[in-house]
Structure 1
Amino acid sequence: MNATENRSTTRFLQRPEGRIAYETQGTGPVVLMIPGMGDIRSTFRFLAPAVAEAGFTAVTADLRGHGDSDTSFTSYGDEATADDTIALLEHLGRPAVLVGNSMGAAVSVIVAARRPELVQGLAMIGPWARDPQNRSGLALLLFRAMLAPAWARPVWNSYLPSLYKGTKPVDFDAYRTDLSAALKRPGHAKAFSQTTHTTHTLSGELIASVHKPALVVMGALDPDWPDAPAEAAWVAGQLGAETLIVDDAGHYPHTQRPEVVHPAIVSFLHGLHLGA
């Protein structure tokens, strides 16, 4: 049976205040993929099949209030998502390698620090593993104001291309349309706006205590950092991780340069010798 044949429909994990949507494909050791804020689980639409074809169970999940997950939660952000991730791992009944993009990388750090027995390794893509050292309070307030619920969808739709500096995914226009449609669902713009109020302070405090095999993947043009390779080096130094700097890619190198990123992640996973 190949990975495509083994793909499941959307499933839901019941949490105290609502449901988290996820899906699986493939068989073998679990690789759980966590998107960043404003994104949906199909950001891993290229990576998940590659991981499944390589002999792993690829699990992709939506954040609270994103994609197919509910908008009934009272809290959003890094710590809430870490709680959901732990609950999903417990539900799956097996430890996993965590693949986190953007905010998902911070979530991976928190989970690995709090529940190390559930984590077999970390792949951090475009990681926000700490708060920026030079961001002013005014800049942060402006960012959150720009993404207030009333105009979060059009602003995010307009802002998104700037995060894809360099090569665009082959289906970028269609994916951008899907993201905009997801934010148009009742309650989703508000949930996204609330998620933007998260900080990565806890991840920054915990990262040095994480002792798991790790890979840091950073687009050389990632606009979230004034010096993206330097930020990747900091994260890698904290984790003792391998580093891959992806040329001609911004914040989403796994979709912008899959021919570079996918083999590196699959090689990292095989190198962990996880077994079945």
Structure 2
Amino acid sequence: MRTERIGTTGVRFRRGGAGDVAVVFVHGFLDDQYIWDALTAELQSPVEYVTVDLAGCGDRTAADGVFGYDRFTDEVGAVVDALGKPFVIVGQSMGSAVAELVAAARPDRALGLVLVTPVPLAGTHLPDEMIEQFRSLGGSLEGQRGVRNQLSVALPDGEFDRLLATGVRVRPEVVRDFADTWNNGHAAGSEPSRFTGPVLIVRGEGDGFVTEELVNGGVAPRFGSVETVSVAKGGHWVHAEQPAAVATHLDRFLSGIAASGGRTASQDERPQGWTGAFAQQSSEAFDEAFAADVVLEASVLTRPIEGRDQVKNVMGTASVIYESLAFTQETANGQQTYLEWEATAFGGVRMQGVTVLTKDAQGQIVRAAIHHRPLGAVLRFSGELRERLSGVVPADLFHQG
């Protein structure tokens, strides 16, 4: 790999491999760019791979100034711009927020976004006594050893020791700024993501910090086209603990982008109209996705509903009832797309389901079949729709209990 600098700034980045697409890697809290080396060594995709140190970390521990998401996004964005080619960006933990902000600001060149054990862009908002434990890790070898022991599952001994040495070099005042940054979050995290392209979320099954509940409740629902995978025997640093497994998922994601012809987020033909409309929580957001004669079948309905106006009323109202909604798997066969999803409503009641979308030659949805479970949540959801759509949609379309 070779190292390059952005102008006369202190921002440096390493680049290796070769390809028309760059994959840019952004490290997390107390780490450095070298944590990606085991993963990039496993990649099979014909891409250029690029790593960078955030200000205050790695080879940039002497950096001065304000440390936070805006600075990190500007600097990593400058690296992406210097590459001058379409890119996929990968971020881990705190770096996942930086990756999203960089991708969202470049919809013409951002082909995909990969979030590895991501903290929510909106922040974790830990209680004062808990976040203080992270804020006080600066210079504390034993404190950092305890955190890495607690949140990792299979870090190789050599990498564990290297990360300890890397983390303890970060100045205490910088560590405090970093912890406040990911705990407080960014204002953009309170809204659906402005990045509308394909997203892959990777978490370690043994990660006690970025749990499945945190991903499904605070990360995945903000994206329109998202897949979430869990890696066995992996913790918070799953990319270093199980690099081959993570590389397999990343290669598959990159292959899917290549198969789509390298379309950018604004050109992507995946079912953005459907999943994106859920993120916007508006009946009007479904309008462009539906053909005029669309038919909706669902386990919350007593019979199918026909016509764009009625269907978008039901779907817009349903999207507001969900407290969280994550599309976890997606596949396509001809004109049909199959989506698996998980959701919560009514103060945390969990639901799962499968949606089957059938499109016409113009790409508009002509039939949607939505299968919910379990039954108790289905009946409650149907009754809630009846109440909210009273006078708009016939009441006998819903459960009357």
Normalised to the residue count of structure 1, the TM-score between the two structures is 0.82
For the residue of structure 2 that corresponds to 1:196, the secondary structure is helix
1:39 Cα deviation after fit: 0.5
Contact 2:42 2:247 in 1 (8 A): yes
Read off the aligned partner of 1:157 and give its amino acid letter.
Answer: R
Q: Tell me the residue number matched to 1:178.
A: 162
Alignment partners' CA distance in 2, 1:70 and 1:87? 19
2:195 to 186, 199, 210: 210
Deviation at 1:34, TM superposition (A): 0.3
Partner residue of 1:3?
none
Are 2:30 and 1:38 aligned?
yes
Of the two structures, which has the highest relative contact order with CA contacts closer than 8 Å and spacing of 6 or more? Answer: 1
The Cα of 1:118 is off from its aligned counterpart by 3.8
Percent of paired sites with the same residue = 25
**Counterparts of 2:249 and 2:256, CA distance in 1:** 10
- Per the alignment, in what secondary structure is the counterpart of residue 54 of structure 1? coil
Alpha-carbon distance change, 131 to 92 in structure 1, aligned in 2, over 3 angstroms: same
TM-score, length of structure 2 as denominator length: 0.58
- 2:46 paired residue among 35, 45, 55: 55
Superimposed CA distance per residue, residues 237-273 of structure 1 (whole angstroms, 9 cap, x where no aligned partner): 3212111011221112222222322111101011101
Q: 1:154 deviation in Å?
A: 4.1
Say if 2:144 and 2:168, in contact at 8 Å, map to a contact too.
no
1:230 corresponds to 2:213: yes
Mark the CA change 1:131 to 1:209 in structure 2 (over 3 Å): closer, same or farther.
Answer: closer
**Superposed displacement of residue 183, structure 1:** 4.4
Counterpart position of 1:112: 103
**8 Å Cα contact 2:124-2:185 kept in structure 1:** no
Q: Which has the larger radius of gyration?
A: 2
Distance 1:82 1:206 in 2: 18
Q: 2:5 aligns with which of 12, 20, 30?
A: 12
Deviations 1:2-41 (A, max 9, x none): xxxxx32x333347xx512321110011000000020011
The code of the aligned residue for 1:25 comes to G
Q: Distance in 1 between matches of 2:187 and 2:32?
A: 23
**Structure with greater proportional helix content:** 1
Deviation at 1:133, TM superposition (A): 5.9
What residue ranges of structure 1 are gaps of 5+ in the alignment? 1-6
Give the conservation status (yes or no) of the 8 Å contact 2:204–2:233: yes
* 1:77 paired to 2:60: no
What is the alpha-carbon distance in structure 1 between the residues aligned to residue 146 and residue 205 of structure 2? Answer: 22
Are 1:109 and 1:129, in contact at CA under 8 Å, matched by a contact in 2?
no
Deviations, residues 59-83 of structure 1 (Å, cap 9, x unaligned)? 0111111111252331112221111
Between Structure 1 and Structure 2, how many residues are aligned?
A: 255
